[in-house]
C-alpha cells in the first residue's frame, strides 16, 4: 500500500529537483505523479516537443527507486492552440464562451479538440507509454471540474443531434417516447433536437435526462480516445482521477475503459460544499462517511483496489474557509483509504506553488522546500503501511445501489429545496457505517451477491431491475428500498403508479406523497409506539401483501397511513421506506435489516468515530477532537492502542465486528 505525491518539476528551478526527489525517497514514497497541465512546456509551439526536462525528472525518480505516474496534459490546452482553433472552447447555456486563462476550457465533443488530443497523447504514448520509469498513466485531470461537464456549443448541438438520431427511428418515435405533446414541444425531425437553450420555463424532463446521458457518453468517448492510444502503446495501467461524488459521469460505464478508478480527496473541502454547516471537527478532518462513501464507490465500481490520486496535504485554496487539518489528519486519511481498499494514496502536491491559481494550496513541503505538516504525516503513514501485510480487498456483506439515471432523472424534479440525491443515499450509508459494516456501492445492473441490499432511490427502475431484485429477495436476501423508486420510465416519463415494476416485490403501492417543509414537521411511529421524525419527503402507501412497519403520526393528511412496509418474498424480505429518514430512524431500519440478515456489526458508533474492516483487520479511525476508548473482545492491536487520540487511528487483527465497542 504505497504512498505517492504529485510533483510539477516545471514550476521549479532545475537545481531544486534533486533535493526534492531525495526528500521524496527519504519519506518512503513510491510514486510521483507528473506532467499534468504541462502541454505548454511539452509543446511550446505547434510540433516542437520538448521532452528533455521530463526525461531528466524521470531519471531522478528512477534513480531513487520510485516510479512516475504520467498524466496526459489535455486539461489545459495552451494559448497557441486556442488561438489557432478557437472552436475547441466550451460555451455556457447562454452562449458565453469559456475562454483561455485558467483550465478545462475545451469541449469534449469538439472534433478539433479530439484531433489535437489524439496528436499530443500519441506523441507522449510513443515515447513513454511502456517506459520502465513509468508505473502507469492518468488521463487528463478531473473531468468536469469547475462545472465543465455540460457544454452548449455548436459542436455539442451537432453531436447531441447525432446521439439522439442513433437512438430513435424517427421524430415520431422520439415524440412518443419523450412525450412532447405537452406544451407543443414536438420535434419535426431527429436532427432538430438541440442542446437545452435559455427558455422561459423549465426544460422537458426527457431532454434533461437525455442530455445528461449524452454528456456522460461524450466525456467517456473522449476519455476512451486517450485510453486506447495509451493501451496501444503498452501503458502498464490507465486510470483517471475523478472527483468527490461527481454526478455527471456514469462511473459504472467509465470503469470499463480504465484499469482501476482513482479519486481526489479533500476532506475539509468537501464538508464545506454541502448545504449545511460543517462542524468544528469536520472542518479539521472532514466527514468520515463522506470520504468512505467515495472510497467504497470507486473501489466497488472499479472492481479493483482504487487510488486516492490526490490526497489533501494541509490547507487548501478552494473552499470558503481554509482551516488547517487537525494534528495527524493527513495520516488518518491515508489509513482510512487503505482500510477501504486503496492501493495507493498520492498526496497533492509536493510543494506549495509560488505561481498561479493554486498558491494557497499546501504541499507536503512548504514553498521554500522545507517540510510542512503533511510531510511528517505522509512519512509516518508510509512507514506504518510497511508493517502491515498485503491485504485482500474488503468483502462487503451489504451493497448499496447507486444509480446515475436516478440522479439525472430527478434533476429539476426534486420538488423540495433540500432534496439532494447523494444526501438521501448518505442517510442509509451512514447508518451502515455507524455499525462498522463494509459496504459495496453497486449499479442496478450488477449481480447482487450480498446478504442485504439497500436501494435508497431507484427512480427509473426497469422491469429487469425489478426482476433481479425479486430474485435476490426470493433467494433469501434482505432488501431495503427507499422512496421515489419505480417512478418513471427510461425516458423520464412517469409510470402510472408507483413504485412501478417494484410494486409486486414491495407488496404495496404509493397512494400519495408530499414534501415536508420544516414548518410542517412529520414523524412516524413503530408498532412499539416509538416515534421518529422524518424530513424532506413523505409517501403514504396502500398495502397489498405488505405489512405496515411504521405509520405516520398525527391527524394531518398523512396521519395513520403506512410509511414503511415489509413484504416477505421467498426466503427473504423486501422493505419499502416511503420517506427520508432522520439518523435515528435510519439506524432502526438498517439495524433491523442487519439482524434479519445475520450480518456481523458493531453497536451504533457516534458521529466521527468509525470502524472499517479489511481482510481480518479492523481500523478504528477517530475523526473527532476527543479521545475514544475502545474495547476489543476478540483479537489484538497491531497498530496504536485502545485509547485512540484525536485524529488518530488504531488497527487490530480480528474477525468479529461485534467484539468491538466503545468504553
Q: Which of residues 597-636 bind a copy of itself (CB under 8 A)?
A: 625
Task: Say if CB 306 and CB 263 are below 8 A apart.
Answer: yes
Exposure string over 302-341, b if 16+ CB within 10 A, otherwise e: bebbbbbbbbbbbbbeebeebeebbbbbbbbbbbbbbbbb
Q: Is 317 in the site for a copy of itself (CB under 8 A)?
A: yes
Angle CA 106–108–110, to nearest 5 = 80
The single residue among 275, 368, 528, 636 that binds a copy of itself, judged by CB under 8 A, is 368
Sites for a copy of itself among residues 262-281 (CB under 8 A): 277-280
Residues 453-482 that bind a copy of itself (CB under 8 A): none
Choice from 13, 200, 389, 529 touching a copy of itself (CB under 8 A): 200
The least CB distance from residue 49 to a copy of itself, in Å, is 14
Among 22, 256, 494, 631, binds a copy of itself (CB under 8 A): 494
The reply to whether 19 sits near a copy of itself by the rule CB under 8 A is: no
Q: Which stretch binds a copy of itself (CB under 8 A): 324-332, 450-458, 573-581, 597-605?
A: 324-332
For the bound state, the minimum distance from the C-beta of residue 464 to a copy of itself, rounded and expressed in Å, comes to 21
CB 443 within 8 Å of CB 401: yes
Catalytic residue among 36, 116, 142, 384: 142
Euclidean distance between CA atoms 430 and 436, whole angstroms: 10
Among this protein's residues, is 386 annotated catalytic?
A: no
The residue among 38 and 443 lying less far from a copy of itself, judged by its C-beta, is 38
* 31, 69 contact by CB (below 8 A): yes
Q: Does 198 bind a copy of itself (CB under 8 A)?
A: yes
Assess whether the previous peptide bond of 499 is cis (omega < 30° from 0).
yes
Q: Which three cell numbers stand for residue 397?
A: 456483506
Give the count of alpha carbons within 13 A of 184, CB side only.
Answer: 0
Residue 449 found at the interface with a copy of itself (CB under 8 A) = no
CB atoms within 10 A of CB 127: 16
Q: Please tell me whether residue 423 binds a copy of itself under the rule CB under 8 A.
A: no
Distance CA(388)–CA(385), nearest Å, equals: 5
Q: Would you say 449 or 494 has its CB closer to a copy of itself?
A: 494
Sign of the alpha-carbon dihedral angle for 209, 215, 221, 224? negative
Footprint of a copy of itself on residues 96-135 (CB under 8 A)?
A: 96-105
Supply the angle between the helices 288-302 and 329-339 in degrees, to the nearest 10.
40
Residue 15 in the binding site for a copy of itself (CB under 8 A): no
Q: Which of 322, 523, 526, 592 binds a copy of itself (CB under 8 A)?
A: 322
Q: Which of 50, 63, 182, 655 binds a copy of itself (CB under 8 A)?
A: 182
310 is catalytic: yes
Cβ-Cβ contacts under 8 Å for 55 (sequence gap 6 or more): none
Q: How far is the CB of 444 from a copy of itself (least distance, A)?
A: 21
Nearer to a copy of itself, 71 or 652 (CB): 71
Q: CB within 8 A of 174, min separation 6: which ones?
A: 164, 168, 180, 187, 190, 193
Q: Residue 40 or residue 570: which is nearer to a copy of itself going by CB?
A: 40
With contacts defined by CB under 8 A, name the span among 57-65, 117-125, 320-328, 458-466 that binds a copy of itself: 320-328
Cβ neighbors of 19 (< 8 A, separation 6 or more) are: 369
Please report whether residue 186 would count as binding a copy of itself according to CB under 8 A: yes
Which residues are marked as active site? 142, 310
Amino acid at each position: 500500500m504505497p504512498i505517492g505525491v504529485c510533483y510539477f518539476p516545471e514550476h521549479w528551478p532545475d537545481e531544486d529537483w534533486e533535493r526534492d526527489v531525495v526528500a521524496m525517497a527519504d519519506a518512503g514514497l513510491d510514486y510521483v505523479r507528473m506532467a499534468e497541465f504541462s502541454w505548454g512546456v511539452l509543446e511550446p509551439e505547434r510540433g516542437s516537443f520538448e521532452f528533455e526536462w521530463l526525461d531528466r525528472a524521470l531519471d531522478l525518480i528512477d534513480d531513487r527507486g520510485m516510479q512516475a505516474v504520467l498524466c496526459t496534459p489535455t486539461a489545459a490546452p495552451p494559448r497557441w492552440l486556442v488561438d489557432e482553433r478557437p472552436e475547441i472552447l466550451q460555451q455556457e447555456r447562454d452562449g458565453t464562451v469559456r475562454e483561455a486563462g485558467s483550465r478545462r476550457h475545451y469541449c469534449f465533443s469538439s472534433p478539433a479538440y479530439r484531433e489535437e488530443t489524439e496528436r499530443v497523447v500519441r506523441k507522449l504514448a510513443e515515447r513513454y507509454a511502456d517506459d520502465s520509469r513509468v508505473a502507469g498513466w492518468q488521463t487528463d485531470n478531473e473531468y468536469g471540474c469547475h462545472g465543465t461537464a455540460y457544454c452548449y456549443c455548436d459542436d455539442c448541438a451537432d453531436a447531441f443531434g447525432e446521439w439522439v438520431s442513433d437512438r430513435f427511428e424517427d421524430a415520431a418515435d422520439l415524440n412518443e417516447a419523450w412525450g412532447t405533446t405537452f406544451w407543443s414541444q414536438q420535434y419535426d425531425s431527429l436532427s432538430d433536437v438541440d442542446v437545452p437553450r435559455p427558455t422561459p420555463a423549465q426544460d422537458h424532463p426527457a431532454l434533461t435526462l437525455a442530455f445528461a446521458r449524452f454528456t456522460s457518453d461524450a466525456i467517456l468517448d473522449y476519455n476512451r480516445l486517450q485510453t486506447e492510444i495509451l493501451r496501444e502503446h503498452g501503458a502498464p495501467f490507465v486510470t483517471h482521477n475523478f472527483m468527490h461524488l461527481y454526478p455527471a459521469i456514469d462511473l459504472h460505464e467509465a470503469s470499463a475503459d480504465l484499469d482501476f478508478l482513482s479519486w481526489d480527496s479533500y476532506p475539509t473541502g468537501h464538508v464545506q460544499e454541502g448545504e449545511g454547516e460543517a462542524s468544528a471537527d469536520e472542518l479539521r478532518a472532514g466527514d468520515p462517511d463522506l470520504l468512505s462513501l467515495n472510497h467504497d464507490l470507486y473501489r466497488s465500481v472499479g472492481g479493483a483496489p482504487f487510488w486516492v490520486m490526490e490526497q489533501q496535504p494541509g490547507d487548501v485554496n478552494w473552499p470558503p474557509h481554509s482551516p488547517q487539518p487537525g494534528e495527524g489528519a493527513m495520516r488518518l486519511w491515508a489509513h482510512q483509504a487503505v482500510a477501504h481498499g486503496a492501493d495507493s494514496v498520492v498526496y497533492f502536491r509536493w510543494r506549495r506553488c509560488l505561481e498561479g491559481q493554486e498558491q494557497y494550496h499546501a504541499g507536503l513541503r512548504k514553498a521554500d522546500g522545507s517540510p510542512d505538516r503533511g510531510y511528517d504525516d505522509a512519512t509516518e503513514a508510509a512507514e506504518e503501511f510497511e508493517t502491515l501485510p498485503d491485504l485482500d480487498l474488503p468483502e462487503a456483506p451489504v451493497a448499496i445501489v447507486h444509480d446515475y439515471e436516478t440522479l439525472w432523472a430527478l434533476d429539476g424534479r426534486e420538488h423540495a429545496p433540500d432534496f439532494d440525491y447523494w444526501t438521501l443515499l448518505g442517510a442509509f450509508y451512514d447508518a451502515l457505517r455507524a455499525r462498522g459494516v463494509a459496504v459495496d456501492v453497486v449499479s442496478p445492473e450488477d449481480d447482487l451477491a450480498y446478504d442485504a441490499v439497500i436501494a435508497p432511490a431507484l427512480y427509473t427502475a426497469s422491469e429487469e431491475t425489478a426482476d433481479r431484485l425479486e430474485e435476490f429477495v426470493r433467494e433469501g436476501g434482505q432488501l431495503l428500498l427507499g422512496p421515489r423508486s419505480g417512478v418513471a420510465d427510461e425516458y423520464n416519463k412517469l409510470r402510472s403508479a408507483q413504485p412501478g415494476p417494484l410494486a409486486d416485490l414491495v407488496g404495496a403501492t404509493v397512494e400519495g406523497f408530499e414534501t415536508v417543509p420544516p414548518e410542517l414537521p412529520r414523524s412516524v411511529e413503530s408498532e412499539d409506539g416509538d416515534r421518529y421524525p422524518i424530513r424532506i419527503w413523505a409517501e403514504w402507501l396502500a398495502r397489498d401483501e405488505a405489512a405496515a412497519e411504521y405509520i405516520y403520526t398525527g391527524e394531518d393528511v398523512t396521519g395513520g397511513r403506512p410509511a414503511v412496509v415489509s413484504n416477505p418474498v421467498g426466503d427473504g424480505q423486501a422493505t419499502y421506506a416511503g420517506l427520508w429518514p432522520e439518523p435515528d430512524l435510519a439506524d432502526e431500519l438498517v439495524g433491523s435489516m442487519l439482524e434479519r440478515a445475520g450480518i456481523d456489526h458493531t453497536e451504533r458508533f457516534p458521529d466521527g468515530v468509525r470502524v472499517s474492516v479489511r481482510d481480518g483487520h479492523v481500523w478504528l479511525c477517530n475523526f473527532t477532537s476527543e479521545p475514544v476508548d475502545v474495547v476489543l473482545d476478540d483479537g489484538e492491536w497491531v497498530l496504536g492502542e485502545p485509547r485512540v487520540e484525536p485524529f488518530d487511528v488504531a488497527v487490530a487483527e480480528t474477525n468479529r465486528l461485534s467484539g468491538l465497542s466503545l468504553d
